[in-house]
Amino acid sequence: MTTIKPQWYVLYTAPRAEKQVAQRLSSAGVHNWLPLHRSPRVWSDRVKIVEVPLFNSYVFVNCRECDLRQLLNTYGVVKIVYYDGKPALVRQSEIDAIKQFLEEAACKKLCVGEEVEILCGVMKNVSGKVKKIKKNHLILYIEQLGATVCVKLSDVANVQQKK
């Protein structure tokens, strides 16, 4: 009997169950990967940076095709993603490209002179230019008011430059 090398496949999960499914698969000893990115979430009283799945309802698993069907027994897994009548394969180069994209996106930091928008508080939706970057705060110059203000780093987001 020949051993077939593990490959990357895709599982479709129940809505908002990606993290729990990834945890259950890891607990069962199944090598998996859930690409996450940090995103600001705005509530009425605060803004928080949370890790959310890059692809909603998808978890990548690295296993042999013969072991794939058994993963359907994992609570939260809805189905195996198929392409052309077979379980969809994801090449290692594609997994590496996604990882590289996430690393580059995480490294992108705010720079002095960049324009940001305040996400909450009395100055919600007001934009300003970054004058100084401290550990957890930014010093912004707000041109409309002719004022300089100090804002929490987690309370701002980049303004997309329109050309």
The CA distance from 144 to 44, in Å, is 25
Residue 147 lies in a domain: yes
Please check whether residues 123 and 139 belong to one and the same domain: yes
pLDDT score, position 56: 96
DSSP β-ladder status, 58-63 and 86-87: unpaired
Could you tell me if 136 and 94 lie in one domain?
A: no
pLDDT of residue 81: 97
The per-residue pLDDT for 57 is 97
What is the distance between the alpha carbons of residues 139 and 133, in angstroms, rounded to a whole number?
A: 6
Same domain, 78 and 123: no
Whether residues 91 and 121 share a domain: the answer is no
Structural domains of the chain, count: 2
My answer on whether 69 and 136 are in the same domain is: no
**Domain membership of residue 103 as a residue range:** 7-107
- What's residue 50's pLDDT? 82
Residues 6+ positions from 138 with CB-CB distance below 8 Å: 110, 116, 130, 132, 150, 151, 152, 153, 156
Same domain? For 54 and 101 the reply is yes
pLDDT values of the chain reduced to their tens digit, one per residue, 163 residues? 445 899 999 999 999 999 999 999 999 999 999 999 877 777 777 767 788 999 999 999 999 999 999 999 999 999 999 999 999 999 999 999 999 988 877 656 677 888 888 888 888 888 999 998 887 788 999 998 889 999 888 788 777 643 3
Considering the domain architecture, whether residues 119 and 40 belong to the same structural domain is answered as: no
In this structure, the answer to whether residues 85 and 152 fall within a common structural domain is no
Based on the domain organization, do 81 and 140 belong to the same domain?
Answer: no
Task: Find the CATH number of the domain harbouring 50.
Answer: 3.30.70.940
Same domain, 25 and 79: yes
Q: Are residues 91 and 124 in the same domain?
A: no
- Check whether residue 83 and residue 23 sit in a common domain: yes
Residue 132 lies in a domain: yes
pLDDT of 18 reads 97
